[in-house]
Amino acid sequence: MKPVGVVPFGEVDAIVLKTVAAHILGYLQIATEVAPPMEFPGYAYDNKRFQYDAGAILKAFESVSFHDFTKIIGILDADLFVPILTYVFGEARQGGKCALISLHRLKRNLDGSEASPPVLFERVAKVALHELGHLYNLIHCENERCLMHFSGGIRDLDKAPPYFCRYCSVYLRDALSPAKNDDDKTHDGGNG
Q: Is 131 a catalytic residue?
A: yes
- Which residues, other chains included, contact 142 with Cβ-Cβ below 8 Å and sequence gap of 6+? 149
Please check whether residue 57 is in contact with residue 80, taking contact to mean a CB–CB distance below 8 angstroms.
Answer: yes
Determine the distance from the C-alpha atom of residue 57 to the mean position of all C-alpha atoms in its chain, rounded to a whole number: 13
Beta strands in 17-174 (DSSP E): 32-34, 45-46, 51-53, 71-76, 80-82, 85-88, 90-92, 98-102
Among 39, 62, 122, 131, the one annotated catalytic: 131
How does DSSP classify residue 60? H
Dmax (CA) for the chain in angstroms is 52
- Catalytic residue numbers? 131
